[in-house]
Structure 1
Amino acid sequence: MKWVFSMLTVLPLAGLAQTPQATDPAPAGKVFGGSQQFRTFSIGVNAGVLMPVVATGGSNDFTKWQVNYGYGANVKWQILHFLGLRADFMGGKVKGDNSRKLGDGSDPNRQYQSFETTLKWSGSLNAVFNVASINWLHKQGAAQLYLSVGGGLAGYSPEMTTPGGVTTEYKPSGTLKEFYVPVGAGIKFRLSDITNLDLGYTMHYVDGDNFDGYNYNSPTKDKFSYAHVGIEFALGNRAKPQLQWHNAPAVMYDDLVAQKDQLKLELDAQKESNAKLAASVEKLQADSDGDGVSDLFDKCPNTPKTDKVDGSGCPLPKPDTAKPGPVQVIITEDDRRLVRDAIANLEFATGKSDIKPASYPSLNRVADLLKRKNLSLKLAGHTDNVGNDASNMRLSKDRAESVKAYLVSQGANPSRIEATGYGETQPIASNKTAAGRQKNRRVEFTIY
């Protein structure tokens, strides 16, 4: 038995030396992509030696075991990374004799000198567990250790030979069928994306004492083992990796690194955008001459701070001090109708303070009126009661300020326009109806 374990020790090293491509880059599935992205089925063939003894020890009916050939095949379905179901088929011959004397010089079985059992067929279903993976930091490992356990049925025919050389069949012209439990271990090497090298050792515990054709000490159960070298072929699309070699932690690490790089790029782009926005705001707020009009819109720069200016930053006409008394401004009914038309035509984008272009003509006429007669204007923004109070107050203020900004852009004096927001606090109709809420959403103009 020593040479068998020597074979299992040496062959993995030889197999590893011949498989440098096992660590080459290969397709790797996503961690949570499902089993459809992998190859999960494989078939294999193997050959090795059968022995009427197992590594766990225990006595058999004959004193010395012999080594003979064996062969097998299997079909495997890899369910999870660490778990697969494998159907094994095996045949061959198992031999032993009584050439070894016991300590007291007696033979445990004087009736027969040797036996030979032909294992005509056997089939078992096994659960295979991947318990360790060499080179596991790569997306696909180079080698892995596994354990297996299952149950099956064997058909065999024992023949016994007496010391005089007479051979007898245990069951003439027939086959014995008994249940057995296979328990095995092995190491597997990935030779390529298609083929794997399999080195394994399996112990078979037979549910009976007929395997060697003799029942020496009932109810002792017979047992035998099988050491093999095999080749496994993965089935399916070659572009897909084998599930049994897939290393989820390594793939997850690569995904996290890729996501980190992508997030860094997005963050850098956002920082650049924020910097441009800050520069634009700073430019918009710049007012070199302090007249209340941004340099971006100031058509008359360097205006003295004591001068009153219009919306374009240009000084307003100064009153004639030679004429005594203040100039009286008369607001006509046409003036009031012009303001009412502007109110009626004023429209904003839904839920925003953006003025719709359809409102520009009537607002232009109001701006012209304010400039011609140097009138003052009070803007009061109102909303309905839909939404929270703070949001409504902010929206009403923003809309009033938006109207002021537009009038100023058309040349109106910003110092003569007051913009105030009242939110939902001053309704002019019931908020319980759609028509009432429509009336409450308004901006009021008051000229004086």
Structure 2
Amino acid sequence: MKTNLKKASLLLTGLMVGSKLFAQTPDSTMNEDYVKPFSDAGLRTWSIGINGGLLTPFNIFGPNSAQDFTLPGSQIGYGGYIKKQFLPGFAVQLDFLRGKVKGEGGAQTGSVFETNLNYAASISGNFTLANINWRNKKGAIQPYITAGWGLMGYKPTLNGQPVKANDESTKEYFVPVGLGLKFNLSRGVNLDLGYQVNFVGNDNFDGYKYRGNSDKFSYAHIGLEFALGSSKKPQLANYNPVNSMRTEYLMEDAQNKAMLQAQIDAEKAKNDQLRNDLNTTNANLAKFTADSDGDGVPDFFDKCPNTPSGTKVDGSGCPLAKPVIVVTEEDRRVVKDAIKNLEFDLGKATIRPKSYPSLDRVAQLLIDKNFSLKLAGHTDNTGSKELNLRLSKERAEAIRSYLASKGANESRIEATGYGMSQPIATNKTAAGRQANRRVEFTLY
């Protein structure tokens, strides 16, 4: 009992001393860790933690003589949590704890209990005793207190025998209350020293009902907390918004200089604008003689700019009417043969080698007669609309690329995917769906 009292006394002394010292991180540079005052924008608010320590029925809320078992033992416990920081001084965290609690003595001399804590999950409010001053951006030590509510599952044994005959786990609510200190080891890692007392909702946590008071057990732990998010952002838990006001005050001189420089730059910009206006006027005058496409019609009067070199144009610079292109029945037969023999790998846009000979004849036809070709890809209604639209487009593009690789003018080939929007047969039968899976070729 004296050993446990000494442990608790040392822990409480450390917490009180730390809360008074409020060690600070020096204000080394003006803009490091700066965030707009009283705003959590640009701050890390999520963190996770892991810890391990000692579980014992002894707690600071009463002497050992008031417990069911007056000789508490210490067993290893471990846990973790995830925390969301809402304000520099307030957060909500979800905790998990496992381990064993053991004790002996008490009303039944020589009795020993051991409770296997299968799980203890709780939600708690975490109140950081924030440090607010002008000189330091953030605290290096954060004292905190916690309080919450949770559920646990445990199995007590008395003198090595299960309390419940069928060795079932007991489920009960509990109220965790704790305090501790966090030390900043780096920008996103904190050392966590804490002490927590858990008030169980009944008197059978130790497997023995005596005096009728609810059982309690404590957990003294050490662990690490890791802030989530970009390592370039400070943590909200140790961020000092008041110091940001001082930072803004120190930045005013730099802002005034920046404003003066901005006025100088604005005057320079006006001069540059006058120079640009003069250049624009000269450029407009040059339009009356400039002929960018070399078709003999000045750009100012050219209604069809950028005509290809050697194109015959009229007085407005537009190409003369092209001769009528005649598509013969033999030409259509070549295209129909390509459509008939066209095959793709299942669900892909990969053309099968069987289709190459007939596609080669189409490519030669486009080269010889300078035809234009429209490729329209279609699918059945199997699969999603987005998938079918993409697949039909990719298949049409695959044919376009193949014909271009054989020497056809790629600029005269149009590839479009329509997906399942234009069926030519019913999609309720296999034959109908087969007919709808097609690529249409149109010569013109």
TM-score normalised over the length of structure 2: 0.51
Counterpart of 2:7, as a letter, is W
Q: Alignment partner for residue 247 of structure 1, among 235, 240, 250?
A: 240
- Report the counterpart of residue 346 of structure 1 in structure 2: none
Shift in alpha-carbon separation, 1:160–1:82, aligned structure 2, 3 A: same
Does the Cα contact within 8 Å between 1:134 and 1:143 map onto a contact in 2?
A: no
1:49-448 pair list within 5 angstroms: 49-57=54-62, 59-98=66-105, 108-110=107-109, 113-133=111-131, 137-161=135-159, 167-171=160-164, 172-218=166-212, 220-259=213-252, 262-263=255-256
Shift in alpha-carbon separation, 1:211–1:23, aligned structure 2, 3 A: farther
TM-score normalised over the length of structure 1: 0.51
Q: What's the CA shift string for 1:394-424, capped at 9, x where partnerless?
A: xxxxxxxxxxxxxxxxxxxxxxxxxxxxxxx
Which stretches in structure 2 are left out of the alignment for 5+ residues?
Answer: 264-444
Shift in alpha-carbon separation, 1:21–1:46, aligned structure 2, 3 A: same
Does the Cα contact within 8 Å between 1:50 and 1:94 map onto a contact in 2?
A: yes
Q: What's the CA shift string for 1:308-329, capped at 9, x where partnerless?
A: xxxxxxxxxxxxxxxxxxxxxx
Shift in alpha-carbon separation, 1:89–1:22, aligned structure 2, 3 A: farther
More displaced stretch, 255-264 vs 186-195: 255-264
Deviation at 1:254, TM superposition (A): 1.1
Does the Cα contact within 8 Å between 2:92 and 2:123 map onto a contact in 1?
A: yes
Counterpart of 2:10, as a letter, is S
Q: 1:191 & 1:12 partners in 2: Cα distance?
A: 20
Q: 2:46 & 2:236 partners in 1: Cα distance?
A: 9
Deviation at 1:206, TM superposition (A): 0.5
Instruction: Find the residue that maps to 1:252 and give its secondary structure.
Output: helix
Shift in alpha-carbon separation, 1:129–1:94, aligned structure 2, 3 A: same
- Which protein has the larger Cα radius of gyration, Structure 1 or Structure 2? 1
Counterpart of 1:48, as a letter, is G
Q: What's the CA shift string for 1:279-333, capped at 9, x where partnerless?
A: xxxxxxxxxxxxxxxxxxxxxxxxxxxxxxxxxxxxxxxxxxxxxxxxxxxxxxx
Shift in alpha-carbon separation, 1:132–1:27, aligned structure 2, 3 A: closer
Q: 1:69 & 1:11 partners in 2: Cα distance?
A: 22
Deviation at 1:9, TM superposition (A): 5.5
Counterpart of 2:49, as a letter, is G
Deviation at 1:62, TM superposition (A): 1.0
Shift in alpha-carbon separation, 1:252–1:153, aligned structure 2, 3 A: same
Shift in alpha-carbon separation, 1:245–1:90, aligned structure 2, 3 A: same
Deviation at 1:21, TM superposition (A): 7.9
Instruction: Find the residue that maps to 1:243 and give its secondary structure.
Output: coil
Q: 1:251 & 1:204 partners in 2: Cα distance?
A: 39
Q: 2:185 & 2:89 partners in 1: Cα distance?
A: 19
Instruction: Find the residue that maps to 1:185 and give its secondary structure.
Output: strand
Instruction: Find the residue that maps to 1:47 and give its secondary structure.
Output: strand
Q: 1:63 & 1:242 partners in 2: Cα distance?
A: 43
Does the Cα contact within 8 Å between 1:148 and 1:184 map onto a contact in 2?
A: yes
Q: 2:170 & 2:54 partners in 1: Cα distance?
A: 22
Counterpart of 1:239, as a letter, is K
Shift in alpha-carbon separation, 1:232–1:265, aligned structure 2, 3 A: closer
Q: 2:75 & 2:211 partners in 1: Cα distance?
A: 25
Q: 1:4 & 1:244 partners in 2: Cα distance?
A: 26
Q: What's the CA shift string for 1:206-247, capped at 9, x where partnerless?
A: 1100100000112x1000011100100011111111111110
Q: 2:134 & 2:170 partners in 1: Cα distance?
A: 45
Counterpart of 1:235, as a letter, is L
Does the Cα contact within 8 Å between 2:24 and 2:138 map onto a contact in 1?
A: no
Coordinate RMSD, CA, aligned: 3.1
Q: 2:172 & 2:218 partners in 1: Cα distance?
A: 16
Q: 1:127 & 1:157 partners in 2: Cα distance?
A: 28
Q: 1:250 & 1:230 partners in 2: Cα distance?
A: 29
Does the Cα contact within 8 Å between 2:85 and 2:237 map onto a contact in 1?
A: yes
Q: 1:134 & 1:72 partners in 2: Cα distance?
A: 31
Does the Cα contact within 8 Å between 2:174 and 2:201 map onto a contact in 1?
A: yes
Does the Cα contact within 8 Å between 2:53 and 2:222 map onto a contact in 1?
A: yes
Q: 2:83 & 2:134 partners in 1: Cα distance?
A: 22
Q: 1:62 & 1:77 partners in 2: Cα distance?
A: 38
Deviation at 1:63, TM superposition (A): 1.5
Q: 1:96 & 1:119 partners in 2: Cα distance?
A: 14
Deviation at 1:91, TM superposition (A): 0.7
Shift in alpha-carbon separation, 1:269–1:89, aligned structure 2, 3 A: closer
1:42 has 2:47 as partner: yes
Q: What's the CA shift string for 1:372-393, capped at 9, x where partnerless?
A: xxxxxxxxxxxxxxxxxxxxxx
Shift in alpha-carbon separation, 1:217–1:22, aligned structure 2, 3 A: farther
Q: What's the CA shift string for 1:51-98, capped at 9, x where partnerless?
A: 102212152211211111111101000011111001010011111110
- Report the counterpart of residue 6 of structure 1 in structure 2: 10
Does the Cα contact within 8 Å between 1:185 and 1:200 map onto a contact in 2?
A: yes
Instruction: Find the residue that maps to 2:220 and give its secondary structure.
Output: strand
Q: 1:73 & 1:269 partners in 2: Cα distance?
A: 52
Q: 1:229 & 1:135 partners in 2: Cα distance?
A: 29
Q: What's the CA shift string for 1:258-284, capped at 9, x where partnerless?
A: 2256458979999xxxxxxxxxxxxxx
Counterpart of 1:29, as a letter, is V
Shift in alpha-carbon separation, 1:67–1:269, aligned structure 2, 3 A: closer
Shift in alpha-carbon separation, 1:253–1:21, aligned structure 2, 3 A: closer
Shift in alpha-carbon separation, 1:185–1:135, aligned structure 2, 3 A: farther
Q: Share of identical aligned residues, percent?
A: 41
1:29 has 2:35 as partner: yes
Counterpart of 1:57, as a letter, is G
Counterpart of 2:139, as a letter, is G
